Structure 1
C-alpha cells in the first residue's frame, strides 16, 4: 500500500513538472524564449491579452527577448508599446539583461532609445530569483566578463566607480563572478579602487582568492592590492590563499609584505588554515615564513655603541594593518 502511494505521489510530481514545462513553452514568453519571431508577431496582433499576461510574469517579455539577443523580437515588442526602460519582477531592465548576455547591439539600441546607462536594478519581487539591487548595467557586464559591452557602456558615460546596495564595485563583480582578467585590467586602468570594500569588508582580492580566480588574484596583487586587509572573521588574503592551497599566491602575498603570523578571529594563523585543509606544501612555505617573521620581531639585546656610530633601530614586526 505504501508502495502504491509512493508511485502515485511520484506520478503527480512528474505530471506537474511536465505541465510547468509545457506552460513555459506556450504563450508569448515561450515564443520569445524560443526565438519564434513569427509566432510572437501573431500573438501580439491576434491576442492583445497575451502581452498583458506576459507582463504579469516575473521575467518581463522585453527582458526575455534581450536574453536571446533577438533584435527582431525586441523591435516587435517595442512597436507594441513595451517600455524599453521597464523593470521586471527580477528587478532588472532589458539593458541589464542585454549587458549580462553580451548582446552589444541591443545594448546600443536601448541606449539610443534613452534608457539610462546607469539604470539601477531593483529588489526582485520573488525570493526564487537572484536579486541584485542597485547594480548598474556595467555591473552586469563586468560580472559576466563582457569586455565589448563594458566599452560600449563607457562610451555612453557609464559610471565605472558606482557601487550597488551591498557596496559591490565592478571589480568586486569580476572577482565574484567572471574572473575576467581583461575586464579587471580595463577597470584598473580607469582607476577602479583595487582595495574597495563591500558591506562585509571584503576586497576584490579576497573574493578572487575565495573563488580561486588565480590569474585575477595575481593581477590584483601586482596592482598593489593590500595583503593586510581584514575581511569577515578577520581573515586576511593570506588566510584565504592558504585555505585554497594557492602556493604561488601565498608566495606573492608574502613577497608583498603579508604577515604570516596574523591571526583570525578563531586564533588561526595562515599556516594553521593550510594544515587544516591538508595543503602540505603551502603549510611548509608558511611555516618557514612564520619562523623568519618571529625572529625579526624579536628586538636584539642592547650593546655598547661605539662612539660616533649610527644608531640602527631593530626591525619591527609586521602587522595586519601594514
Structure 2
C-alpha cells in the first residue's frame, strides 16, 4: 500500500474516531452502533494528548449501554489514558455503579494504578464516597456465605472452613497504598465519607496503617498519620466515631509530633475536641455497613457464565420474572426459593443500601417478595452458559481498509459468481468512498475476514491481487473520471466501470 493511501486511511479513521468519541461522550447509541458496524476497529481509537478512548468517555459519563456495545466490539477493557487511568477508574471516580458492574462482569483489572499518584479504582471510589462501587470492586473476594461477616469480626471460628475466601488477599487489596502510603481508608476519612469508611472497615481495612514520606506527594498533615488523623483534619464526627469504635488510637503521633486532637485544633475543628479527648473503654459495638451484599458474588459468577442481558434457556417452561415481567427466570434465592432473572437479581444485589431488618445474617439482602434474607443465588436447571464469541480488533488504525466492504463485496460476488479479492476491492473503494452516502453505510456488516488482523487461516488472502484485472480497473476508472470531468463519480458510473473491466477479463 502506498504512503498517500496510508495517510488517507489514517485521516479517515481519525475523523470517524472523533465521531465515535462524541457519540460515547453524549450517549448517542444509534450513532455509535452505526460507526462500529462500518468499522469495528474504531474501538481502538484514542484522542490526541490525553489518549482517552471512547470507552473512557462512555464510562466517565455513565453511558452503560455504550460501554456494553464497545466491549462487545472487542475493545481492550484495560486501556489506559495518558495518566494511566482505565475506564473502570473513571467510572469509580464519578460513581457510575452500572458501568462498574458491567466492567466487573467483564473481568476488568481492579489492580491497575494511576501513573501520577499510584491510586487504584478503589482509591477513587473511596475518595468520592461511592460505596456501591466499592463493594462491586471487591465482589470476587467476598463469598456468598452465611457466617462470613461474623467470622471476619471474630465472632465465629469457622473462618477456615469457608471456601473461596482468602482473607489475606482481601486485606491486601483493601489496604493497598498509593504514593505516600495513603490507603482508601485515608481518603474516605479525609473527605468525611462515613458510609465508605464503615464499609472498608467491615471488609478488613486497617485503622492503624500510617502514611510515609516518599517525596512523591505533598502531605500537609505529616508522614506517619493514621486514618484517624485524616478524619480529624476533615472534621467528620461520624468518621472519627467509627474509627475509634474499631480501635483507632487517640494517642498516635505522626512525624510532626501531632495527635489527632492536635490536628483537629490546628485545622479549627473544635467540635471534635470531646470525641478525641477520651479513649473509650473497650471497642464500641457498631452495626454492620448497610452496603454489604453477601449474595453479590454468587449472582456475579452466574452472570459471567450464563449472561445477564437475556435469558439463555433450553426450554420455555420457566416462569417470567415477577420483577421485570420481561425475561425468563434463571436464578433462585437460597432459602425462600423465589425465582428471578439474572439481571433483576444483579440490580437487587448492587443497589440495596438500606438497613432494613431481614430474617437473615448481616449482609443478606431482603427478598422483594417475602422479605426473607437472601445469602446466595443458585442457577436454575434450564439455564445454560453463553457461547463466547471472540471479537478480533486490530491493534492499529493506521492500516484500516475495511470501509465499505460489506454490501459492495456481497453484490459483486453474487453478480459474478466468484470471490472478489480483497486487494481489488480496496483498490476500487479507495477512490469511490467519497461518493458513497453515510446513510447507505448505516446498516453495513463487516466481514471479519476482510480485516488485516484476521487469523492466518482466513480463506481470503488480503494481499492476493489479480494484476490483470487491477490494470483493467485502473484504465476504466481513469476513463470514468475523464467522462465525469474529474468530479466525484456516481455509484452507477462506478458499477458500470467495473462491469466493463470484468467483461474484458472474462
Tell me which interval the TM-score lies in, with the shorter structure as reference length.
Answer: 0.5 to 0.7
Matched, 1:104 2:29: yes
Find the residue that maps to 2:42 and give its secondary structure: coil
Matched, 1:260 2:177: no
| Structure-1 separation of matches of 2:241 and 2:70 | 47
State the match for 1:86 in structure 2: 14
2:59 aligned to 128, 142, 158, which one? 142
Find the residue that maps to 2:44 and give its secondary structure: coil
1:16-45 deviation digits (Å, cap 9, x = unpaired) = xxxxxxxxxxxxxxxxxxxxxxxxxxxxxx
- Single out whichever of 154-163 and 103-112 deviates more from structure 2: 154-163
State the match for 2:185 in structure 1: 238
Structure number with greater Rg is 2
State the match for 1:279 in structure 2: 236
TM-score (norm 1): 0.56
1:159 aligned to 61, 76, 81, which one? 76
TM-score (norm 2): 0.37
Query: 1:122: Cα distance to partner?
Result: 3.5
Distance 1:145-1:223 versus aligned 2 partners, 3 A rule: farther
| Structure-2 separation of matches of 1:291 and 1:239 | 13
Find the residue that maps to 1:230 and give its secondary structure: coil
| Structure-2 separation of matches of 1:149 and 1:223 | 25
State the match for 2:331 in structure 1: none
Query: 1:155: Cα distance to partner?
Result: 2.3
Find the residue that maps to 1:287 and give its secondary structure: helix
1:95 aligned to 13, 20, 32, which one? 20
Unaligned runs of 5+ in 2: 1-10, 142-169, 213-222, 252-506
Higher relative contact order (CA 8 A, sep 6+): 2
Query: 1:152: Cα distance to partner?
Result: 1.7
Structure 1 runs of 4+ with >3 Å offset: 221-225
| Structure-2 separation of matches of 1:138 and 1:276 | 36
CA contact (8 A) 1:221 1:253 kept: no
State the match for 1:183 in structure 2: 99
Find the residue that maps to 1:290 and give its secondary structure: coil
Query: 1:215: Cα distance to partner?
Result: 2.6
CA contact (8 A) 1:84 1:115 kept: no
| Structure-2 separation of matches of 1:84 and 1:203 | 35
Unaligned runs of 5+ in 1: 1-82, 125-131, 295-322
| Structure-2 separation of matches of 1:93 and 1:223 | 36
Distance 1:157-1:115 versus aligned 2 partners, 3 A rule: closer
| Structure with the largest fraction of helix | 1
Q: CA RMSD in A?
A: 2.7
State the match for 1:194 in structure 2: 110
| Structure-2 separation of matches of 1:275 and 1:203 | 24
